[in-house]
Amino acid sequence: MRLAARGDGVTADGRHFPGAVPGDRIESDGALVEGPNRQAPACRHYGDCGGCQLQHVPDSLLADFARDRVLEPLARAGVAPKDVQATHISPPGARRRAALRATRTDGEVRLGFNAAGEHRIVDLQECPVMHPGLFRLLRPLKALLAPHLGERSAIAVTPTLTDNGVDLLLGNLQANSLPVIEGLNEFSEQHDLARLSIEGPMGIETLATRAAPSVRMGEADVTLPPAAFLQATADGEAALVSAVRSIVGKAKRVADLFSGCGTFSFPLAMKARVTAADGTGPAIRALETAARRSGAAIETQHRDLFRKPLSADELNAFDAVVLDPPRAGAQAQAGQLALSRVPVVAAVSCNPATFARDAEMLAKGGYRLRRLWPVAQFRWSTHVELVAEFRR
């Protein structure tokens, strides 16, 4: 028995058994006999909420699962790392951002995650993965949003915990009257939000800012734009940054591609000159502003790396490249890297399948996969991230 990509147990002959784990036994009649490799789920919503699939799995098996999720697609692509580091697993209560929904169904207001395999929302009464600073907002948010929810309507709720408080983004909420705006401002003050914004057909509008919603990156305080990407946990981010810094080493000129707001740019700029490139305008402007304010040695480029990747000739100016694309991967940019003379690439990924595709391209271009770090910062879920070291 092994754990498949979606968390099901799979027997040697390919039969899937939801909830099964290595060490369980399947009887001749198909009955599941539980083995010793289990633990009690940490949450009352487990099995109903779609946010976690593996709360019944102990950390030792979670580590194996994350490692195998990365290695299996690589093996199919014919790429094998020389060394695989121990899997890093983020602790409970560390999730600092969440994508929730508030709904009203049959008169009942619910706020939480989608149920497993359904469009129904599970009304969260507890959440062992979410940071307490976020979870404590859920009950008052239900009260705030209830008057704005019609039957079968929904409001998107995206809270992010920053160094100065919660940055709250509400989607599909009509705030076009003075009483509604005043109510949202009062909520922001009452709960010490750093910022409260709403997103509608005309884009994002900030209604209240008590403090700059900033996050420390390297030696800079970066003010996040609304809806900015941020690693799910500070713990997981630290593990990713540590691995990238280990790979880059003493490189003096570094390109940080798909840089976002600067997760890797600012730590690397403490010892190197960094060129940060990203196609998301608000993110690259936030990075540029923080770099100017902190004096970090970072040059920025607002550039769509899917349509206009750095060419091999441009890449040859760098001692190292950091590559951290979204789930779609970096096929075009990996192709140019394969043609370049860059000695070392630190590749970060949240999708083992597209990473394997890009890794195969780099390998065909003469790179070798030296070290690999699996990172499971979405604890008890099937979502896995990684850092990989490629050298010529």
Which are the catalytic amino acids? 350
Whether the Cβ atoms of residue 112 and residue 101 lie closer than 8 Å to each other: yes
Strand-pair category, 88-89 with 368-376 = parallel
Which residue, among 335, 327, 389, has the nearest Cα to 362 in the 3D structure? 335
Whether the Cβ atoms of residue 74 and residue 363 lie closer than 8 Å to each other: no
**CB count in 10 Å sphere of residue 143:** 10
3-class DSSP string for the chain = CEECCCCCEECCCCCEECCCCCCCEECCCCCEECCCCCCCCCCCCECCECCCCCCCCCHHHHHHHHHHHHHHHHHHCCCCCCEECCCEECCCCCECECCEEEEEECCEEEEEEEECCCCCEEECCCCCCECHHHHCCHHHHHHHHHHHCCCCCEEEEEEEEECCEEEEEEECCCCCCHHHHHHHHHHHHHCCCCEEEEEECCEEEEEEECCCCEEEECCEEEECCCCCCCCCEHHHHHHHHHHHHHHHCCCCEEEEECCCCCCCHHHHCCCCEEEEEECCHHHHHHHHHHHHHHCCCEEEEECCCCCCCCCHHHHCCCCEEEECCCCCCCHHHHHHHHHCCCCEEEEEECCHHHHHHHHHHHHHCCCEEEEEEEEECCCCCCCCEEEEEEEC
Task: For 376, list phi and psi in degrees, rounded to 5.
Answer: -110, 75
